[in-house]
Structure 1
Amino acid sequence: MQVKEIMTRSPRTVTPDTSLLEVVSLMCLYRYSGLPVMEGEKMVGFIAEKDVFHRLFPTLEDMMTEGLGTSDYSDMMSKYKDVVNLKVADLMATDVITVSPEHHILQAATTMVRHKFRRIPVAEGGVLLGMLSLGDVHKAIFQASIAGASKRVPIGI
């Protein structure tokens, strides 16, 4: 089974100038773990929840010199408002890893697991064609292996 058979076509995208407040709102409301960043028809980056959270945490050097006490977590949470006032361009990854629509779904899943991604852009030549999530892969495998093998899947699995 190929990626193109199960990918989400016409995924939600943002631009480098989109405010992070808008992006995190989309992430919270629609449970997006990440969104492609587009300039016209060209994908120029990817913004993920982990990019937002990494901005809240101190650097390794800060932790080594200052440590991290329990009271520091409140300070970290208060920085969230500052982070969401940034633009996507301030935090997005520009070295985007993608999969081809021709890849086998397990090949794409391997890439996602190896890089600890929950979703990945499907692209060819920098052109975004869709998105694929681990949930999409899991559902396809389930349908092909379990639901397809038996017309009746027991309730409660």
Structure 2
Amino acid sequence: MLVKDIMGCNVRSVKADTSLLEVVSLMCLYRISGLPVVDDEGKLVGIIAEKDVLARMFPSLEDLMAVEGGLASVDMDEMMGRYKEVVRLKVSDLMTKGAISTTPDTHILRAASVMARHKFRRIPVTDGGYLVGVVSMGDVHKAIFKVNIAEAVAAVHVV
């Protein structure tokens, strides 16, 4: 079974010059953990994820070294307040450039192995560099489940 057989084709994406406020609003409103970043032609140029946004608020090594007591002494509420500054940035300031993707003609287990190796839950699907869909671990699991359960049910009814 190939990625094109199970991928979602209605994919939300953003451009590198999109404001993070717009992106985090989409993420929170639609419960999206990450969005592909495309150029004006629709070619995949990166990914912006919740972890990219939230990591910007984490204390840096310099912050930890400057505070006596290290991490235990860092004011986490103050760090949370950095969010207002972070959302003023653009996607290009935080996105992961050169995102890993798969193609529509990739076997679903190969796509799943790439996701597992890189600890992704979903991966963009590109054709000639253009974003054409997205496939998730859940999509792969459901497809395998359906194929195997259908075979098991058919075998039971034959007996």
Residue 127 of structure 2 is aligned to residue 124 of structure 1 = yes
**Cα separation, 2, equivalents of 1:71 and 1:63:** 7
Residue 48 (str. 1) matches residue 49 (str. 2)? yes
Contact kept, 8 Å, 1:33 with 1:118, in 2: the verdict is no
Task: Give 1:146 shift.
Answer: 2.5
Do the aligned partners of residues 104 and 90 (structure 1) sit closer, same or farther apart at CA in structure 2, a change above 3 Å counting?
A: same
Counterpart in the other structure of 1:68: 71
Q: Deviations over 1:20-70 (max 9, x none)?
A: 111111111222111111112222211111111111112234335532126
Corresponding residue number in structure 1 for 2:88 = 85
Residue 143 (structure 2) pairs with residue 140 (structure 1) = yes
Amino acid at match of 1:96: A
Note the residue ranges of structure 2 that are not aligned, 5 or more in a row: 155-159
Alpha-carbon separation, structure 2, partners of 1:101 and 1:23:
26
Change (3 A) 1:103 1:69: same
For structure 1, which runs of at least 5 residues remain unmatched after alignment? 152-157
Identity of aligned residues (%): 61
- Greater than 4 Å deviation, 4+ residue runs: none
Given that 1:112 and 1:119 are in contact with CA atoms closer than 8 Å, whether structure 2 keeps it comes out as yes
Hey, what's the Cα distance between the residues in 2 that align with 1:30 and 1:147? 32
When the two structures are superposed, what TM-score results if normalisation uses the length of structure 2?
0.85
Whole-Å Cα distance in 2 between the matches of residues 124 and 105 of structure 1? Answer: 16
Please, which moves more after superposition, 68-77 or 2-11? 68-77
User: Counterparts of 2:66 and 2:85 in 1: how far apart (Å)?
Assistant: 24
- Length, aligned pairs only: 151
SS in 1 for 2:56: helix
CA deviations over 1:9-28 (Å, ceiling 9, x no partner): 13111111111111111111
Give distance in 1, aligned partners of 2:123 and 2:25. 20
Query: Could you tell me how far 1:71 is from its partner in structure 2?
Result: 5.3
Q: Is the Cα–Cα contact under 8 Å of residues 9 and 131 in structure 1 kept in the other structure? A: yes
CA change 1:148–1:33 in 2 (3 A) is farther
The alignment yields a C-alpha RMSD, in angstroms, of 1.8
**Which whole-Å deviations, capped at 9, do the CAs of 1:43-100 have from their partners, x for residues lacking one?**
2211111111111112234335532126521112111111112111111111210011
